[in-house]
Amino acid sequence: MKNILIPVMMMSLLVLTCLSCKKQNEATPLEIQHPKVLTEEYLASLRAYKNSDHQLAFGWFGNTGGDGMSASMSVRWESIPDSMDIVSLWGGLPKDSSPQMAAMRFAQEKKGTKIVAVSFSNDPFFTHYGGEDFISKYVEPGEDAQLTAGFELVAKKMAEYIEKNQLDGIDMDHEPHVCGCSNWTVVYTPDRFALFIKAMSKYFGPKSGTGKLLIIDGEIDQIKAEVGDCLSYAISQAYNTSGPSSLNSRYNAVSGWLPPERYIVTENFEDFWKTGGINYNDPLKGTIPSLLGMAYWQPAAGRKGGAGAYHPEYEYASPIPYQYMRQAIQIMNPAVR
């Protein structure tokens, strides 16, 4: 009996195994994530939103240059959230006639994203004029009229650069005391910087009539009140902010010349992209990531201009790409349900 049962049992197992293999090898449809289709209707709505009165999303993006041929979406313009209002080119301009340049132009023209060049406030005198020649000719004489003439020369060259590259304005990083990355020999004092802002205001900012943005970030408390109305926005590098009292004190330092709607606060995502910032103690929400705290925060004088981050592209590597930046945008500008 044993001699009969064993072969029968083995045959039965072989049949069941074959049936199981057949079932596993049957073709079944897979769920595939398709790229979002950007219809003309969607893009028109996006541009209308960008042109509406709302709190802005700003970012110094570090992967803006290159040719766009990388397989990684994290270094390509297509990965930047559609709802970003202003992108500062921390990674430089894309290569001419490259897919990256085409993608940047699409973001600019079809999505309504404003794209600005970024420069340390002392660098244009070396980039556009030759540095030491500018200092000897326009700075060392010690006359405001001579200095103003030099500033107007450089401002014109910067305007030509922006026009040539079809950008939406300039973002000047002014850090004469805290950065340590430049000696700021030309615009070190508030008086000199004010003269330069006046020269720039002929080509950029609300007084120019050109529609080009004039943005100052960094040590905005070094800006003189007399040139405050020349700026489109002033951006505070409010890194490591743990609560609203810090944001209040930062704004109070410039509130005499800066309306709240032109004030933008930012967090450092080069260091804190994984957590959305440091722990921020919100009086209503409790402990939350600091970028979200910045999104909720408002000056006592009225609604702020917006919020953003340094190197927000790092957040593409999160389990949910740009999760904190998208949350911040939703907090500031809740979607209509």
Provide the number of structural domains found in the chain.
1
Q: Which residue segment(s) compose the domain that 128 sits in?
A: 49-332
Whole-structure pTM value: 0.88
Extract the tokens encoding 165.
Answer: 């590259």
∠ CA(327), CA(167), CA(95), 5° rounding? 95
On whether the CB atoms of residues 227 and 201 are closer than 8 A, the answer is yes
pLDDT at residue 8 in the model: 45
CATH of the domain at 132: 3.20.20.80
Residue 54 one-letter amino acid: H
Q: Rounded mean pLDDT of the chain? A: 91
Q: pLDDT by residue (tens digit) across 92-103? A: 999 999 999 999
pLDDT at residue 71 in the model: 84
Q: How far is CA 289 from the centre of its chain?
A: 18
On whether the CB atoms of residues 89 and 141 are closer than 8 A, the answer is no
Q: Report, as an integer, the average pLDDT of 287-309.
A: 98
- Residue 16 pLDDT > 60, yes or no? no
In a domain, 313, yes or no: yes
In a domain, 29, yes or no: no
pLDDT at residue 179 in the model: 74
In a domain, 154, yes or no: yes
On whether the CB atoms of residues 148 and 156 are closer than 8 A, the answer is no
In a domain, 10, yes or no: no
Q: pLDDT by residue (tens digit) across 134-172? A: 999 999 999 999 999 999 999 999 999 999 999 999 999
Is the pLDDT higher at 11 or at 138? Answer: 138
Lowest mean pLDDT among 30-39, 158-167, 299-308: 30-39
